[in-house]
Amino acid sequence: MSVSAALLLVGVRTFVSAQSAPTQLVFWGSWTGEGEQQINTMVKAFNASQKRIQVRYVPQQDVETKFLTATVAGNAPDVMIWDRFQTALYAPKNVLAPINSYLTRDKIDPKTFYGEAIRELTVGTNIYGLPLTVDARALFYNKTMLQAAGVQPPRTWAELRAAAIKLTKRDANGKLLVAGFALDDVGLFSMWLKQAGGSMLTPDGTKTAFNSPAGLRVLEFWDTLLNKDKVYEIGFGRGEGNAQDPFVTGKIAMGYNGPWNISSYRKYGQKLNFGIVPPPSGPTGAKGAVMGGFGLALTQASRNKDAGWEFIKWWLANSNNALTWGKSSNNIPGNLKAVDDAYFQRDAFWKPITDTLTFATIRPAVAGFPPMEGQALIPNIQLFLEGKQDAKTALQKAQVAGDRILADNANK
């Protein structure tokens, strides 16, 4: 064989070898610890399912900030575990890749997922990922305590108040021993507002709408529970001993919580005899719950978008894989067929959450909403709960600051 022929043969072999090498995908998320193990369960299963693509999960702290920096530097990941709440803020920055063409090509109907979750991943007509998890807060209660007090799990605000009063225990000196209801998360204001029949923003999403009779109704109800009925004290049971969960230690009889705690609470068995019901309805009968959760998104900077999509599609569009993910991670998947499985629908703990998800809605998908809520609304409501300003002042100040933040973000 001539030297030139030998070199040509080596070149062909090198080309074939390069062509057969699997595409390497870099996958970012903020999940560490047990969450990282759950993610890697699916990554390993995908890698073993075929030979064309290999995924490597790299957990990151402050993942959104690092993602923006990496995008500018040219070393962004291919796929991300994406907080859907941030989509309206980040998608306009052209850092996420829309998946519409992939959905059309592979005949995947967005209606096979929770509609609200898809809506949270959508800006304009573009869809920027598929739902990985869905969640909503529901009312967790201590069955033993409720049975001893002779009360049923509440279905309305009135029943919630009556039950909380009966469940609250103080010693002879008035020291709180058991809180009837934990009113400790001001971030749930939007959920309560829905129950009161109100809205966070105007229909066009340009201004706040919570400074309203419904908003005042929420804060007045909170004030009644805290300062008249005295069913809770801010910070009660937090940071004591080994920072044990006050619901586990019996310091709190009822409180709003999410599905992420179900598996850990179940481990206590009869030592923590708890139940879950959907959020009680408001004074006019309105139901309200807020859907949250994560998605898997393609990054705009990725050079391997086709391979990234194959990974996302395998995990989330395939209902069997989505169900495997739900079971192995104790998360509710965004795939409706997977959630319809008996694992979720016939379980006394999961069913109240999935029932809640039937009426849960996302927070407004407006670019300025996350900073408005975090910088204007929550700080002012926190001051109200601490007794440092009244309800009307809190809502008024939050409205002024919130409208300004919405306008600033709309103009970017």
DSSP per-residue string spanning 242-273: TT--TTTTTSBSEEEE-GGGHHHHHTTGGGG-
| 81, β-bridge pairs | 296
Give the pLDDT score at 239. 59
The domains of the chain are located at 23-135+292-357, 138-183+231-288, 186-226+367-412
Give the pLDDT score at 15. 39
- When computed from its CA atoms, the radius of gyration of the chain, rounded to whole angstroms, is 25
Q: Which two tokens stand for residue 292?
A: 């949250």
What is the C-alpha separation between 122 and 130, in angstroms, rounded? 10
The stretches in the chain having pLDDT less than 70 are 1-19, 239-243, 411-412
CATH topology of domain 23-135+292-357: D-Maltodextrin-Binding Protein; domain 2 (3.40.190)
CATH topology of domain 138-183+231-288: D-Maltodextrin-Binding Protein; domain 2 (3.40.190)
Structural contact between residues 382 and 184, judged by C-beta atoms closer than 8 angstroms: no
Buried b (16+ CB within 10 A) or exposed e, 99-132: beebbeeeebebebbbebbbbbbbbeeebbbbbb
Superfamily of the domain at 186-226+367-412: Periplasmic binding protein-like II (3.40.190.10)
Structural contact between residues 311 and 321, judged by C-beta atoms closer than 8 angstroms: no
Q: Are strands 79-83 and 23-29 parallel, antiparallel or unpaired?
A: parallel
Give the pLDDT score at 69. 86
What is the C-alpha separation between 211 and 220, in angstroms, rounded? 13
Compute the Cα dihedral for 66, 95, 119, 57 and give only its sign. Answer: negative
Structural contact between residues 136 and 290, judged by C-beta atoms closer than 8 angstroms: yes
Identical fold, 138-183+231-288 and 186-226+367-412? yes
